[in-house]
Structure 1
């Protein structure tokens, strides 16, 4: 019988030409055969970066992007916002984050009312929730992305989608989740139509917001957005990424690429030589340096004879205290990342792993430093990975309770669905580790591989 692809069901069954029972979230055939179910819904197919570029000169494309009438979308004007939005308590952590000084931005009055409502939530609340930059008078997300909306329909839909996702979590309103899905599908459709003609910055911004949607709002699209980002970056060429907005976007790509490599147990896919600080904020320069060490650890994945490289990274981490110049919240965050990096290194480089008690010491130190940072701090946006890494290593009920309480406090401050799911994943890891410890006296369990195996997806670490 000739091979043919089916047009319904999960993407795994479609690609293999088998009938799918379409069970959610994973089809019965994939579960029965222990296959990775690639899910349902819209699936982007990224073009290879070798496609011919637009013949239009870059300067003319920039002028077209910056002209107010581009793509027939509404303009963004610097004035007071007038759209309604969810109003957190004046004393809540979310309010404290939203009140961080930013450049005044609002949406033009000629925009669709639903878009105005959602984008007002983006500018007044959500932009502050997802940014980790400190010591700046302008939120980098609002500074760079909000003006781009006037020139990119796909980006506007993507921002509306994540704003609706956040409002759905805040208000526990399923209808807003439906709104989010509708706007996300429109963003994907618009991106397909414009990706070959838009300025690459606009396309990359849209792809990154879709990546945030998957990671922070657990939309699980099944699309490898980072592969798409990599294709856009290569297609744009070196000269396309010289602006401050481009640096901001590339820094976000690196951040998500590194943490995704951790959650997938793979090597990073981006090969960017510049080390722009995360979000383009100098306050995050030292954190960016630590993440480069995490990327080095990820590059050890799948290699043999790791002793020389493992010892070099270990030595870098051991001498890291001398290079930390930040104090307060930044200093505690850097120390937490250092201890989490030790744990990650020893999980990848198992031959160099110390006695389990030393791993527990790193976990306790990491959690102690994280606890010193108030949940209202923007830096808490970067705490999920170290909290997950150290939290999975905890053994005692008291420590685990403190980890759970910390995640709940982060949820109350931010209302990002990924926090609830990361707690569930951690509880799953604890059960697996406890079971193995009871059986053989030790729990040599890799928490990342445990979630990949049992949940059939990666943990949401970004």
Structure 2
């Protein structure tokens, strides 16, 4: 009976933390039936050890921010998850393997803080291709519940994979995956699902240019113009205003502002890395104006809104561009609020990068061949791959 009580106490402690705190930073909507980490993955984990151990590790890594002693326990759960995945990869359902792999990517990010989890995300890509082929096979229709679970896993992977590309120097030569599910607000991408593949394409292009020593070919510039125009033309889905939520901390205005902050921040990144690229007539006409637009959009979102859980990349992208003491203080305050809300080490490491950029700009240090593309340049120098999401 003591063993049973001990197991129950352990489950209550770990999954209580996951339900009360960790789920809330993994989704813009955290109503009782809205957060798929709570409603989909936790129940699934009770039948599969790899996922159970992975979610346990996630919960403990998150809690370890305030209770560092939990990190060793988290690492043991992560090792168990990896072992269970390796042993069962050929026999477990592909969506369970995918869920475990995505969870392990988050564990790695929350453990090491200066990694993007890209290795796990690339492993997940193989599983996604298998599942896409399965769902597209008319001879073997799948239940609607399976499709909903796959949509959630694919979108989570898409969000993490795209943002990891921004700080990872290693090329990904595989063809992009051609699936976009934009029929509802996504837990992490919000209403910007169609925008994220464009962000990933910009990251791929910039890595290609950097690999060539910073020299953009005419083909690269033509690709940049195409991406610039596609990003500028993007608009939130028309049916967004019909969205409702059980979560009082979610609202559509903040969802739209967050998506538009991503839109302008990736334009900012593109223009900084390719300074010869002309600005689109309908967009801000300088990097300073783009940075101010991003900051204005972020500041329009109240800190009480749950959408702030995905504000790291736009705040990083724009925040580095301000030289004035007043603007930097606004960025610093917003950053500290994010750190307090998320309780994640990668948020703190990203702000270390921002402060280093400010220091270099103050003293006129080397900012690299891409001009003020300095946050990515600093990460490259430091060999950091902070997940900016």
TM-score of the pair, normalised by structure 2: 0.79
1:106-145 matches, within 5 Å, as: 111-133=7-29, 137-145=33-41
Residue 219 of structure 1: CA displacement?
5.1
Alpha-carbon contact 2:102-2:124 (below 8 Å) kept: yes
1:352 aligns with 2:277: yes
Query: CA RMSD, aligned part only?
Result: 3.2
5+ residue gaps, structure 1: 1-107
Pair 1:184–1:282, CA change in 2 (3 A): closer
Candidates 356, 364, 386, aligned match of 1:428:
356
Q: Counterpart of 2:119?
A: 224
Which string of whole-angstrom CA distances, capped at 9 and with x for unpartnered residues, describes residues 164-200 of structure 1? 122222xx32221121111111111221111121111
Which string of whole-angstrom CA distances, capped at 9 and with x for unpartnered residues, describes residues 109-167 of structure 1? 89442233101211222112221247894212112211111121111111111111222
1:251 aligns with 2:165: no
**Distance in structure 1 (CA, Å) of the matches to 2:45 and 2:134:** 23
Higher mean C-alpha displacement, 136-145 vs 148-157: 136-145
Q: Which has the higher contact order (CA 8 A, sep 6+)?
A: 2
1:364-403 matches, within 5 Å, as: 364-403=292-331
Alpha-carbon contact 2:294-2:318 (below 8 Å) kept: yes
Q: Counterpart of 2:374?
A: 447
Higher mean C-alpha displacement, 175-184 vs 292-301: 292-301
**Distance in structure 2 (CA, Å) of the matches to 1:282 and 1:202:** 19
Q: Counterpart of 1:315?
A: 229
Q: Counterpart of 1:199?
A: 93
5+ residue gaps, structure 2: 137-145, 210-216, 242-251
TM-score of the pair, normalised by structure 1: 0.68
1:83-162 matches, within 5 Å, as: 111-133=7-29, 137-162=33-58
**Distance in structure 2 (CA, Å) of the matches to 1:452 and 1:128:** 28
SS at match of 1:228: helix
Candidates 51, 56, 61, aligned match of 1:165:
61
**Distance in structure 1 (CA, Å) of the matches to 2:48 and 2:203:** 34
**Distance in structure 1 (CA, Å) of the matches to 2:90 and 2:339:** 39
SS at match of 1:274: coil
**Distance in structure 2 (CA, Å) of the matches to 1:155 and 1:253:** 15
SS at match of 2:121: helix
**Distance in structure 2 (CA, Å) of the matches to 1:283 and 1:180:** 24
Residue 446 of structure 1: CA displacement?
2.3
Alpha-carbon contact 1:255-1:278 (below 8 Å) kept: no
Q: Counterpart of 2:212?
A: none
Higher mean C-alpha displacement, 186-195 vs 272-281: 272-281
